Amino acid sequence: MGARHAEAIKNAPNTRLVATMDPDERLARELAGEAFYTTRVEELLARDDVDAVLIATPNHLHDVIGIQAARAGKHIVVEKPMAPTLERADRFLAACHEAGVALSVGYSFRYAPEIRAARRLVEHGVLGRLLSVQLTCYLDKPPSYYGSGYTNRVHSDWRASMEKSGGGVMIMNMSHQLDQIRYILDRDLTRVTSVAGVLDSPAGVEVEDAISVSCEFQGGAIGNFFGTCFARGIDNQIEIRLLGDAGSIVLERPFRFLTLRGMDGVASGRWHAFGKLPKVDVHMTYLAWFADAVFRGKTPELSGQDGRAIQAWLEAMYESARRGRPVTVMPPPELVSPQAAVRRS
Ligand SMILES: NC(=O)c1ccc[n+]([C@@H]2O[C@H](COP(=O)([O-])OP(=O)(O)OC[C@H]3O[C@@H](n4cnc5c(N)ncnc54)[C@H](O)[C@@H]3O)[C@@H](O)[C@H]2O)c1
Residue 171 is given by DSSP the state I
34-46 pLDDT, tens digit per residue, is 999 999 999 999 9
Write the CB contacts of 72 (distance below 8 Å, at least 6 apart in sequence).
45, 46
SS3 216: strand
Q: Could you tell me if the CB of 153 is within 6 A of ligand 1?
A: yes
The 10 Å Cβ neighbour count of residue 25 is 11
Q: What's the pLDDT tens digit per position in 278-336? A: 999 999 999 999 999 999 999 999 999 999 999 999 999 999 999 999 999 998 877 64
- pLDDT band of 275, cuts 50, 70, 90: confident
d(CA 132, CA 302): 24
Tens digits of residue pLDDT in 216-228: 999 999 999 999 9
**Residue 156 Cβ contacting ligand 1 at under 6 Å:** yes
Give the pLDDT score at 334: 72
Rounded distance, CA 327 to CA 330, Å?
A: 9
154 CA closest ligand 1 atom index = 20
Residue 340 has what pLDDT? 45
Q: Is the shortest distance between the CB of 26 and ligand 1 below 6 Å? A: no
- 175, 208 in Cβ contact below 8 A? no
Which residue has the least CA distance to atom 16 on ligand 1? 1
Decide: 163 in ligand 1 pocket, CB within 6 A.
no
Read off the pLDDT of each residue in 62-66 and give the average, rounded to a whole number: 98
Pick the closest to residue 83 from 95, 97, 71 (CA basis).
Answer: 95
274 CA distance to ligand 1 middle (Å): 34
From the CA of 39, how far away is ligand 1's center (Å)? 15
Q: Taking all residues of the chain, what is their mean pLDDT, rounded to a whole number?
A: 95
CB neighbour class for 137 (10 Å; exposed up to 12, middle 13-18, buried from 19):
buried
* Ligand 1 centroid – CA 323 distance (Å): 30
- Rg (alpha carbons) of the chain, rounded to whole number: 20
